[in-house]
Structure 1
């Protein structure tokens, strides 16, 4: 049986309520019930809803809200409504929902006024901790007087009364806003640093992308792209963003790959791929970048193998332009020197 009710409200609405047993275990009202707060009377009401078949409805249960039609001519002396087959609300296959109102009246009551922020924390802890409930009730009794008056009880016959032994009413107060200027200045400096870093990263990414594209043709451009990637890495470490730092490492790996340092590039790609797979934030774009660079690295190793075997080959935009008709390669068109890659057709067959 519930004997403790704690509810939080403002002047016009009920925000939350907690119901507990004698030993302060959580309890609740019957299913299908709800609690409403009356702004005019400042009282709590329990609304119980039930569905009844239309065949059992009587004149006592009937209210005009059940049907838009007037049934005054059908009332009979035996408290029933004849002619129900002509009424939309007396379809036997559609039960009618009725509501009963009960006023929740406290035997003993405590009234508190709390800051909205503190009240939200208290409501959260009341729902979780039984120890906190005991200490909260003890604290409420120590700072608020006990009220056992019954002046606010509605004695109307139309509304039932449910007595609750102990009620704590908590009225929410709008919190006093205090500006924390020291914290504001710290956050402001971090935001400005973040915005400037993002702007610098965007500019360096555009510039580095151009140098990296030319790095397939000229080694000095590839070297310059690597220097730009190191600058981006420094910015990423300054703003403590590990995902952006991982991308910068991949840019460095691409620069090393273009200049022939395949083993160093392979170590960087492996480390960054392992980091991207194990990070709690799954950056699928970073994983795709690792896979793309790994595919290019395999191709570069393949070209290195061909050169060791004495097969002349040239790479422009990652496409073979000169190749002999050996080693599983046939039907290759004339070299295009990287000007029209779409017409290159390569078919790998059995040797």
Structure 2
């Protein structure tokens, strides 16, 4: 394993860049992609691995040095990506009795407080009610903790308001299933049901660092799905923000409800033209695709092809 240090002393939170060859395969995490001149970032180790073939004629110290120098020029964005990943994971790992919708919203607001070119708006229960977000309120009805909606806005192409990307995330801070109560074994890890909201907020955070010439609005719909005296009953009929009525045949299908109001808000209030939603929406995806693939559905094949190209660059399997 080759290590090259180009600084006199270590920096706090700095990345370690390591070049590895075929003989090092057995010592490495299986997450490291073992393809010629391919880099893999492992955020937990704060390390980036460069795989090279020792027998390759392109392998020499000068080439390694030049590669490291080029990489160093991009180190800032790599650090930002690592920071975004850790921010999402810290939100996900928070105990469900410590991170409710209010705390989630306040954490995100604080994270973006240093950015002057970002608009952060948080809707409380009164504002959510005024916006007629009946599906989100129906999911929240059994909880002692009020819901929140976080809106993040970035306009890097103000002259092109007809092209606004929307990111909408499901933020169920704990999912009991409501009156369609989950079995005990399925309640484990239900604090992670806010992962969609965490992902869209941290994706937004990472994206804006490069100050792209695009417009992006992120909407995170936050609540817990609890049981209580006011909880929504199975076969209740509620009215969505769009005006459509919905019969709730399963209170454990709450994710699509909060997403529906989030999508409507993004379209009607924020005037987005394309939307990516992110959610831990159904265990059926795990049954169908396993633990290491993300399921994707679309009604726009052209947008899907653009998305596929991005996932290939980021090595995300969908």
> What TM-score range do you get, normalising by the shorter chain?
under 0.3
Q: TM-score, normalised by structure 2?
A: 0.21
TM-score by length of 1: 0.20
Q: Tell me which structure has the larger Cα radius of gyration.
A: 1
More helix by share: 1
